[in-house]
Structure 1
Amino acid sequence: GTLVAVPVVNVFGFIHKSRYLPDRRDLNRCFPGSETGSLGARMAHLFKTQVLDLCTHAIDLHTGAVYRSNVPQIRANLASEETAEIARAFGVPLVLNSVLRDGTLREVAEANHIPVITYEAGEALRFEESCIRPGVRGIINVMRHLQMLPPSKKHAVAIEPAVARSSLWVRAEHDGVFRPMVALGQRIKPQQLLGRISSPFNNNE
């Protein structure tokens, strides 16, 4: 098989340090796009026809947002058996079941019977080796799983990932400075203290 790699899809966003295009559209909500639509629609259409339509499988690479670091994870539609297989083959400790959203690359890929997973790790605008290395290793793992590469000669211990069927946001009820009490990716228990929020203007905590 052949690996087709596109280092940067949203070139405008990369240059201007923003996920949004100049018209404030999110490219990953513009798929499948069109030849005559907005800038985002045209870029999405070009990527779909020139890249995605040539592929049998896809891995979408993302970081977290600015000032927000994400633990290395795979997001995938686990209802698809083949997608679930490559999600586990990637080999990171966390796999999150993620529903398909309209206009995303994952949604249009699955609609065209192309199994696709998203590797999301780290923070935007940063190169973090602790996130890059598992990503590169995971891509190679998937290529071996698909028999695009021969099996590794090294005896690697298989990682059985924790599989989360859903996720939620825990939002603070007060403003202030957040001081975490747990590390990113650390397993926690019910009622465990995650952090403290204190204000520099009073004694509230």
Structure 2
Amino acid sequence: MARESFAIGGVRVRAGASRSVELPLTRLVTGGDVGIPVQVVHGREPGPVVWVNAAIHGDEVVGVEVIRRVLQQVSAKTLRGTLVAVPVVNVLGFMTGDRYLPDRRDLNRSFPGSARGSLASRIAHLFMTEVVAKCELGIDLHTAADRRANLPQVRADLDDPETRRLALAFGAPVAMHAALRDGSLRQAARGAGARVLLYEAGEALRFDDEPIETGVAGVLRVLSALDMLVEELDLPGPEDESDALPVTLVSRASGWVRARGSGVLQLDVHLGDLVEEGRRLGGISDTLGRRVRLVHADRAGIVVGLNRAPLVNIGDAVIHIAAIDEEQSGHIADERPLTARRWGGV
């Protein structure tokens, strides 16, 4: 018996087919129509229904390229289940390179939305009804905010066994237990019964090879872990497995080191550096080069985020450090000092 077709946006995608669909969104002041582009890969064989989305923030473009490359490697003829790919959710922000919508609302604080609310609320409602409601798992792709950079990392509810399994299957350098934020897609989707992995990597308005390649490999690994892919994955790994960190470091707590003075920031660490509490991470100088303040680690852990702005004010977030699970931290410390190891190429 043939598998049923997949309904979305007023159309039906037959089993064993891949189809582009546009979800009508709004009309521009010029009279042109705007919609959310969706690619549905509806496999011949039954299996999980998974969505992957990017650009909820319009300037976060890494995920757009991740989805493009993933779609090149997934075929409806061999896929078990269904993949719903939404490369650009915030279409209006994406067109202008803006994180927010024209009304300055943050789409990722507007879920689950309303059919009669603000523009952000209507987009959120459309996404929830046409995509999330039809899926059991979502992979939400993000980058750091403007003038920041993130080490590839997965944020998820690690207390849920299945979510944890998939977060570790993704294979990012770090998996972080993250609380739900009011109005976020992850919170609304969880309330609707779907699990969500949130991938953070790279910088806004920039394509970086490492975050893109890690994202592509991660999405494919998750699909494989769900038994959706027939073919075995041939994905790149560390060049020297004997000198590699664990596939994924687990963190349940993190925090930003903040500037204790204003001036020009000089950083002495990189994304992926393992640091000890009290280690010097950089300094802040005035424009004549006189040192104003030093920046020190307030905890041991791995550097998962950096402020790329050369100028900082007192109180600005400078370096994001994720504390490592105690068991993993001890294992790494036994092998080599934390300060001597880092994820290469990031």
Note whether the superposition's TM-score is higher than 0.5: yes
Which TM-score applies when normalising by structure 2? 0.57
Q: What is the SS of the residue equivalent to 1:116?
A: strand
- 1:92–1:159 CA contact under 8 A, matched in 2: no
| Residue aligning to 2:267 | 180
| Residue aligning to 2:220 | 140
Corresponding position: 1:203 with 2:293: no
Report which stretch shifted further, 141-150 or 151-160.
151-160
Report which stretch shifted further, 47-56 or 145-154.
145-154
Query: Partners in 1 of 2:179 and 2:227 — Cα distance?
Result: 28
Query: Partners in 2 of 1:154 and 1:7 — Cα distance?
Result: 24
Deviation at 1:202, TM superposition (A): 5.9
- 1:180–1:194 CA contact under 8 A, matched in 2: yes
Deviation at 1:159, TM superposition (A): 5.1
- 1:87–1:117 CA contact under 8 A, matched in 2: yes
- Name the % identity: 49
The Cα offsets for residues 37-57 of structure 1, whole Å up to 9 and x where unpaired, read as 110110000011111111111
Aligned residue runs from structure 1 range 27-38, under 5 A: 27-38=107-118
Q: Counterpart of 2:230 in structure 1: which amino acid?
A: P
| Residue aligning to 1:61 | 141
- Which runs of no fewer than 5 residues in structure 2 stay unpaired? 1-80, 293-346
Deviation at 1:185, TM superposition (A): 1.2
Report which stretch shifted further, 96-105 or 151-160.
151-160
Which TM-score applies when normalising by structure 1? 0.94
Q: What is the SS of the residue equivalent to 2:84?
A: coil
Deviation at 1:150, TM superposition (A): 2.9
Query: Partners in 1 of 2:286 and 2:232 — Cα distance?
Result: 52
Query: Partners in 1 of 2:288 and 2:172 — Cα distance?
Result: 42
Report which stretch shifted further, 11-20 or 98-107.
11-20
Higher strand share: 2
| Residue aligning to 1:78 | 158
Deviation at 1:154, TM superposition (A): 4.9
Q: Counterpart of 1:166 in structure 2: which amino acid?
A: A
Corresponding position: 1:116 with 2:178: no
Q: What is the SS of the residue equivalent to 2:128?
A: helix
- Which runs of no fewer than 5 residues in structure 1 stay unpaired? none
Deviation at 1:16, TM superposition (A): 2.1
Q: Counterpart of 2:257 in structure 1: which amino acid?
A: V
Q: Counterpart of 2:83 in structure 1: which amino acid?
A: L
Q: What is the SS of the residue equivalent to 1:168?
A: strand
The Cα offsets for residues 64-103 of structure 1, whole Å up to 9 and x where unpaired, read as 0111111100011112222111111100110111100111
Instruction: Work out the number of aligned pairs and report it.
Output: 205
RMSD: 1.8
Q: 1:150 to 1:198 in 2, by over 3 A?
A: same
Find the partner of 2:278 among 191, 194, 198: 191
Query: Partners in 2 of 1:104 and 1:135 — Cα distance?
Result: 21
Query: Partners in 1 of 2:209 and 2:234 — Cα distance?
Result: 22
Deviation at 1:152, TM superposition (A): 2.3
Deviation at 1:28, TM superposition (A): 0.5
Q: 1:126 to 1:176 in 2, by over 3 A?
A: same
- 1:180–1:196 CA contact under 8 A, matched in 2: yes
Query: Partners in 1 of 2:160 and 2:190 — Cα distance?
Result: 9
Q: What is the SS of the residue equivalent to 1:167?
A: strand
Query: Partners in 2 of 1:114 and 1:153 — Cα distance?
Result: 25
Aligned residue runs from structure 1 range 154-173, under 5 A: 154=234, 160-173=247-260
Deviation at 1:201, TM superposition (A): 3.9
Q: Counterpart of 2:136 in structure 1: which amino acid?
A: T
- 2:283–2:291 CA contact under 8 A, matched in 1: no
- 1:91–1:159 CA contact under 8 A, matched in 2: no
Q: What is the SS of the residue equivalent to 2:114?
A: coil
